[in-house]
Amino acid sequence: MKTLTLEEQATNAATLHHIGMVQSLIHKFVKELLDRADVHDQSKLASPEVELFAEWTPKLAGSTYGSAEYESFRKALGPALDHHYAKNRHHPEHFKNGIDDMSLVDIVEMFCDWKAATMRHNDGNLRKSISHNANRFGMSPQLVKILENTVDTVGE
């Protein structure tokens, strides 16, 4: 094995420090995601949300996401959704400027929420949801492409 020069040893020490910093930051990011997972949508389990979600969730499940029927059901959920959006920052409606005010952690939770929502719909499709939501929320083409590139991570 070759003996490293002092410069090579110094470079390796700096690289190891960098690797440790990146690991630490990724762990911090993952912890935030794990914390979000633990409290995701807890507001739906109590009033004023639970009553309306109990009534309208089965109807939403039988409708096509984004259809006129779906939108009429969503409007009927108004007070519950207003409360839900106010309490849950993974929804663009939580923020004054929608997605533009969200963090990357918010986006990841939102993406996972969208995937889980497609699994509740009889005809759910994550790629179609991304396309619909791109228009609904005025998403940039770059963010749309990133979300589309991530679909395979969670499965169609």
List the single range of 59-63, 81-85, 101-105 with lowest mean pLDDT. 59-63
* Whole-structure pTM value: 0.92
Domains in the chain: boundaries: 11-154
What is the mean predicted confidence (pLDDT) over 78-105?
97
For 127, the token pair is 């790629």
Expressed in angstroms, the distance from the first to the final Cα of the chain is 48
For 156, the token pair is 């169609």
For 46, the token pair is 């109590």
Q: Residue 57: what residue type?
A: T
What pLDDT score was predicted for residue 1?
87
Q: How many helices (H) and strands (E) does the chain have?
A: 7, 0
| pLDDT score of 135 more than 90 | yes
What pLDDT score was predicted for residue 156?
78
What pLDDT score was predicted for residue 121?
85
Task: Name the pLDDT band for 20 (thresholds 50, 70, 90).
Answer: very high
Q: Which residues contact 98 (CB under 8 A, 6 or more apart)?
A: 92, 137, 138
Rounded to whole angstroms, the Cα distance separating 98 from 148 reads: 19
> DSSP label at 95?
S
